[in-house]
């Protein structure tokens, strides 16, 4: 399992 989308990157 990965950490996923952190909404920081564009």
Partner 1 sequence: MNIFRLAGDLAHVFAIIILLLKIWKTRSCAGISGKSQILFALVYLTRYLDLFTTYVSLYNSVMKVLFLASSGATVYLMYVKFRATYDRNHDSFRIEFLLVPCLLLSLLINHEFTVMEVLWTFSIYLESVAILPQLFMVSKTGEAESITSHYLFALGSYRALYLLNWVYRYIVESHYDLIAIFAGIVQTILYCDFFYLYITKVLKGKKLQLPA
> Residue 6 CB, nearest distance to partner 1 (Å)?
7
> Residue 3 CB, nearest distance to partner 1 (Å)?
5
> Residue 2 CB, nearest distance to partner 1 (Å)?
4
The residues that touch partner 1, with contacts defined as CB under 8 A, are: 2-10
On the CB side of 8, how many CA atoms lie within 13 Å of its CA?
3
Q: Say whether 10 sits in a helix, a strand or coil.
A: coil
- Tell me which DSSP letter residue 7 carries: S
Structure tokens at 8: 């920081």
């Amino acid at each position: 399992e990965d950490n996923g989308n952190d909404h920081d990157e564009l």
